[in-house]
Amino acid sequence: MQWLFGSDEDILKLVGRRGSFLSRIGVAVGIKDSDFPVFRELYYEFMEQFKSRYSVYTPRRVFASVDVRGILIDGSELKEYMLFLRDFVNDVVNTSGLYVNFVFASFGTSRISLPGKAKPVSVKTFIESTLKSYFAYIPVWTVIHRTGIKRARVYVDSFSTSPETPAWNELCNNNEVYVVSNGDKVNLLISAADLLLGYIGTIIKLRNKKPDISELKSYLKPFGFNDDRFRIYHVGNRDLGHIIYKDPTVKINPLLYRPFPIVYLIPELSPAGLLAGKDERKLIESSHVYEYILRYVEEQEGSLKIISFTEDFKHLSAGGVVVSLGEHSRRIAEYLRLLGFPLEHLNARELIHLYGGDPRL
């Protein structure tokens, strides 16, 4: 038996009459590999019903919390979104054997010393800036560290290049770790973690009270969570030696932990000087064809990246799939293959046709 985990994170800010509270929060979902096929089928069935009910026309089967919020919330109305997530807990989480682990990080000190910094930083800076770059893996590390689970397969939503921590080393030394870009849109376990994080985070914000482990469990119980498979963990001062890096110059490169195959999108406009790279990314991610690309990556259980020849050329010899979006990118894809890189080439129309769309679009 092997454990499978998905991990994601966010920030929690509360403001009340007695002051403010700041914390990084996360969810790590876990499931035994023997139970995963049931979870997968329940997840797909639930999302197909969601698409049908709200007339969501997309080939995608995996959704992030931000996708669901965008579809269900009209103005400031939260009711439909919260009902959707409660149904997700009842119909998918509790029925499939998924374990839900909510983790929140807060610290009983005003300043924290960091290697390489001349002066200690405020706890606010530590939570908002330092932890932001790598907290994505801390929820699953917390669960594995405290339960003693080993040899798990771990999927973490993408995070920045960041200093290596003892927590990261412990996680990687004992487990199979993958960092998935757009993980909440292509990986079922990261998506589940993200959806549940949105649910729990919203409940806590509506209550607007500083989290406490015993209180959290009592007031979250009416929202559908199974007591036997719901855990809450606090990361605090005792964990600083694990979650603070020892040497700021020793970095984690998340690109080295991507699951294969890697699907590279080749930009069409920015190399020709017609659009800035970040603007083309926004254009692609808001497009119809991007939905088909996400479906393909999810089905292949791989990872997605807009190609960067300064970052990726050293990885191309490991193979993967290149997706061209137009004539310019088609020529680049064929050039890469001519150079001998073992890359499969698909164009956007082929992907649309693969999943039953109109290739003329």
Q: Are 100 and 230 spatial neighbours (Cβ–Cβ below 8 Å)?
A: yes
Q: Which residues pair with 121 in a beta bridge?
A: 112
Least confident of 107-111, 127-131, 225-229: 225-229
Least confident of 50-59, 68-77, 107-116, 148-157: 68-77
Instruction: DSSP for 33-92, please give it.
Output: TTTHHHHHHHHHHHHHHHHHHTT---S-----HHHHHHHH--TT--HHHHHHHHHHIIII
Q: Which long-range contacts (CB under 8 A, 24 or more apart) does 72-81 make?
A: 78/202, 78/206, 81/202
Share of the chain above pLDDT 90, in %: 68
How many helices and strands, by DSSP H and E, does the chain display? 16, 14
Q: Return d(Cα 25, Cα 29) in angstroms, integer.
A: 13
Mean pLDDT of 16-43: 92
For the chain, the domains span 3-254, 260-354
Q: Model confidence at 310, in pLDDT bands (50, 70, 90)?
A: confident
Mean pLDDT of the chain: 90
What pLDDT sits at residue 294? 96
Within 8 A by CB and 6+ apart from 350, the residues are 359
- Residue found under tokens 């973490």: 156
Higher pLDDT, 237 or 212: 237
What pLDDT sits at residue 274? 47
Mean pLDDT of 163-172: 97
Domain 3-254 bears CATH identifier 3.30.420: yes
Higher pLDDT, 40 or 312: 40
Residue 183 Cα distances to 88, 154, 156, 246, angstroms? 18, 12, 7, 28
In 3D space, the residue among 122, 170, 121 whose CA is nearest the CA of residue 145 turns out to be 170
Q: Return d(Cα 216, Cα 186) in angstroms, integer.
A: 30
Predicted TM-score (pTM) of the model is 0.94
Task: Give residue-wise pLDDT tens across range 20-29.
Answer: 889 999 999 9
pLDDT at residue 113 is higher than 60: yes
Least confident of 11-15, 212-216, 278-282, 349-353: 278-282
What pLDDT sits at residue 16? 73
Task: Give residue-wise pLDDT tens across range 331-358.
Answer: 999 998 999 999 999 998 888 988 877 6
